[in-house]
Structure 1
Amino acid sequence: MSELLRLTDVTRTVKLPDDSDLHILTGVDLTISNGDHVGIVGRSGTGKSTLLNLLGLLDRPTTGVLEWAGQDVRALSARAAARIRGRDVGFVFQQFNLLPGRTALENVAAPLMYAPGPQFWRRRTIAAEMLDRMGLGARLDSMPESLSGGEQQRVAIARALVRGPKVVLADEPTGALDLETGGEVMELLDGVTHDTGAALITITHDVNVAAMARQRFRLEGGRLQAGVSV
C-alpha cells in the first residue's frame, strides 16, 4: 500500500483574544495509506475538528510535519493545497449540506463541474452510476427535502466519492441518523471506499462507529492513543 498522509509530532495552537495560547493538538503521530479505515473517537472539545482540518489540508500545523504523498504541506502554496483537496479528498459531514433546489443527481454531479474534460462531459452519467451504487438509482430526480435522513446522507457520500478521492474524511457521519440507519450508512461507506481503494478516516464521538474501523484511536489530551474499547 502506498502512503498518503503522515503526521509527525504535529501540534496546533491558536491565539485567544486575551493573547494567551490554546494548545489543541500537542503531538499527533499518524500514518494513513490507501485502503486504510481509521476511526478516531473523542469527546467534544478534544480537537477532532482541528485534526480533520489538518488532514483535509484546510489548515496547517503550528509545529511538526504533515506530509501528503511524501510532500511536506508547508511547501505547498494555498492554490496547490486547494487543488489536492478538490481532486483527492472527499468530505462527509454530520449535516448533509446538500444544495437546496437541486436534485440528488445535480448534487452529486456538482463536484464534476470542475473536473477535467472526460469527467466533466460525463458528469451526469458518472453521478447516476454513483447514486445507483448507493442504492438510490430510483431517486435521481428527487429533491433533498423529499429524501429521508439516511437517503440524504447517502447522496452526500456519493457526492464525496464521485471524483474518486484518495482520502475520505467523515466527520460525525452518523450523528444526525438513528442507530440502525447510521449502521447501514457506515457499512455502505466502508464497503465503497474499500472497493475503490480510498482511505477512510472517521472522526466521531461514538465508540461504536469508531470500532468499525480497522485502526482505532482515541483523541485525548491533544494526542492520539491507540485502541478504542466499546
Structure 2
Amino acid sequence: MSAAQLLQLTDVTRSVLLPDDSQLHILNGINLTVTEGDHIAIVGRSGTGKSTLLNILGLLDRPTSGTVAWRGKDASGLSARRAAAARGRDLGFVFQQFNLLPGRTALENVMAPLMYASGRDFWQRRKLASEALDRVGLGTRLDSMPQSLSGGEQQRVAIARALVRRPRVVLADEPTGALDVSTGRAVMELLDAATVDSGAALITITHDANVAALARQQFRLESGLLHPLSLEVV
C-alpha cells in the first residue's frame, strides 16, 4: 500500500511589499510533495527564503499565490484557529536554538505540549513524556534542568518534545546549527530514526550539505525555486 500524502505545495509563491512599494519575491513557484515516512532536506544559503518556506510548510504563513494542501485538502485559507489546531495536533518543530523552558526539568519541557491536549494525551502526559525521553536516550535525565545538559542532550529533549504528540510531519530548522559536527550527525541520525519509527515525515531545513546528505530526498532552494540534489555523506 502506498504511503499517504501529507503536504503538497503547488506553484507556491511568496512576496512582500517593501517601503518603496516595490515587491520582494522570495519564493517563485515551489512544488513539493511530502508523504508519510519521507525524509526531505532543503539546503540554501542565508537569505534564500528557507525560513519563509518553513513557515508555509508549518502552516504559520500563507503563500501569496499557489496552493498548500494538507492531507488532500486546501489549507491555504485556513483560519488562524484551525491552522493552530493542525499545528498542535499534526506538526512538530525542532529549532537550532533549543528553546527549552528555563527552570523546568527535561520531563516538564517535554510535557509542555501535552498541557493543551485532551483525553488520554492530557491525563497520561507524564508517562508519554517519560517514554519520549527514553526513546532519545534520556530516560535517566528526567529531572535534569536544561543548564545541566550538554548541547546535544538539550537538542534531544527538544526532539522528544517535538515527537511527544506523535505528529505526522516534523519540521527541523537548522537543528544542528548550535552543535559540533559529530554531535550534530548523531542528533540527525537519532531524529531520522525516531521519525521513521513513528511513521512521520521529516523535513530538514539546513545550510549544511552533510546534514542534507542524510536525507533520502534533497533539494537546493535558489532563486525562489527548489532544485533536486544528489548528495553523499562525507
Same fold (TM over 0.5): yes
1:224 matched residue in structure 2 = 226
Does residue 1:29 correspond to 2:7, yes or no?
no
Q: Number of residue pairs matched? A: 230
SS in 2 for 1:99: coil
Name 2:148's counterpart in structure 1. Answer: 146
Question: What displacement does 1:228 show?
Answer: 4.1
Structure 2 residue identity aligned to 1:168:
V
Identity of aligned residues (%): 73
Taking the TM superposition and a 5 Å limit, the aligned residue runs for 1:175-214 are 175-214=177-216
Indicate the residue corresponding to 2:75 in structure 1.
73
Cross-structure match for 2:91: 89
What RMSD in Å do the two structures reach over aligned CA positions?
0.8
1:211 shift after superposition: 0.8
Q: Distance in 2 between matches of 1:82 and 1:134?
A: 27
**What's the TM-score once normalised by structure 1's chain length?**
0.98
Structure 1 stretches of 4+ moved >3 Å: none
TM-score by length of 2: 0.97
Query: Contact 2:212–2:231 (CA<8 Å) still a contact in 1?
Result: no
> Residue type matched to 2:84 in 1?
A
The answer (yes or no) to whether the contact 1:207–1:228 under 8 Å persists in 2 is no
The whole-number CA distance in structure 1 between the counterparts of 2:186 and 2:14 is 34
Deviation at 1:126, TM superposition (A): 0.5
Does the Cα contact within 8 Å between 2:136 and 2:190 map onto a contact in 1?
A: yes
1:110-144, Cα deviation, whole Å (9 max, x unpaired):
00001111110110110001101110011100000
**Is 2:47 the counterpart of 1:40?**
no
Do the aligned partners of 1:36 and 1:199 also contact (CA within 8 Å) in 2? yes
Cα deviation code 1:97-122 (max 9, x no counterpart)? 00000000000000000111111011
* 1:30-84 C-alpha deviation (Å, 9 max, x unpaired): 0000100001000000000000000000001100111111111134211111100
Separation in structure 2 between the aligned mates of residue 200 and residue 192 of structure 1, nearest angstrom = 10
Cα pair 1:12 1:24 within 8 Å, conserved: yes
Unaligned runs of 5+ in 1: none
